[in-house]
Structure 1
Amino acid sequence: MKFTFFIIAFFVIGTLSVQAQTTQDTLDIKKVALAYIESQHTPNPKQMEDALHPRVVKRSVFKNKKTKKDYVSEYSAENLVILAESYNTAGDKFPKAPRKDLKLLDVSALTASVKLIADEWFDYMHLVKTNGEWKIINVLWQYNKISEHQ
């Protein structure tokens, strides 16, 4: 009985020590994820660039109206920086108090998964910690209204 308790306690404690999420990691991950959306709210290409890993890819699925075939749309780091510079220059793409809810789905020593819920869409983001900094390396997104993907 004592041996069983010891084994269970060992695995529970061992599992806890594997989790590498620190308070600073949590703050840094949230900061990077928010920089991604806030750089679009108030056009700021530098803020976007700082949040991205150079090999980031942003993807979503759309349907071609003419052929009715699905295809995957992809954006690179360069596309996202240009998006941050140009998307909301007139200030009319977001509400005055835009939604930017974050959910940390999983965090380990070098990787993290985050869900960002914005006004018209949501993004699933993967982040990597390289050279001591968290950066977005993958984004998979979808409009809330599936009809927007047509």
Structure 2
Amino acid sequence: MDEDAGLIVAVVHDYFEGWFDGDVARMGRALHRDLVKRSAGEDRGAALSFVTAEQMIGWTGEGEGVQVASGLADRAIEVEVLDVRRDIASVVVRSEPYYEYLHLVRTRDGWKIANALWCTP
């Protein structure tokens, strides 16, 4: 694994483990301030849900992810770095509760998650 891929995987773990542990610092470190997180929702994509970095950080602090993690049999997180080109990257993440496609951008402060599209398996 090259250096960028290792840094990207670490950011993804900050995002997932921060969520599961209620760790606001880790979640905040992982997300770009302009994050757009979407899911197809109950209506199979007729309208996409929209979540911001501020909402994700707030929900992390409120323990939303801790509640999810408490019901998991396995907290394994599989991260596959699909592509890295200059200052952008594409990743797929597989875990028990979530399946996510992530786009990351390299900033002055390191790699950050800019876009997320997710569903439950």
- d(CA) in 2 for partners of 1:137 and 1:61? 18
Q: Is the 8 A contact 1:41 1:94 kept in 2?
A: no
- d(CA) in 2 for partners of 1:71 and 1:31? 32
* SS, match of residue 93 in structure 2: strand
- d(CA) in 1 for partners of 2:19 and 2:45? 29
Q: Is the 8 A contact 2:39 2:48 kept in 1?
A: yes
Which one has a bigger Cα radius of gyration? 1
- d(CA) in 2 for partners of 1:27 and 1:87? 27
- d(CA) in 2 for partners of 1:102 and 1:114? 7
Deviation at 1:132, TM superposition (A): 5.5
Q: Is the 8 A contact 2:15 2:26 kept in 1?
A: yes
Gaps of 5+ in 1: 1-21, 145-150
Deviations 1:93-123 (A, max 9, x none): 433x402001111111100000010102201
Q: What TM-score results when the alignment is normalised by the length of structure 2?
A: 0.88
Aligned residues with identical type, % of pairs: 28
Gaps of 5+ in 2: none
Deviations 1:113-149 (A, max 9, x none): 00010102201000000116110000000111xxxxx
Match of 2:16 among 37, 40, 57: 37
Give me the CA root mean square deviation. 2.0
Count of aligned residue pairs for this structure pair: 119
Q: Which portions of structure 1, spanning 4 or more consecutive aligned residues, are displaced by more than 3 angstroms?
A: 88-91
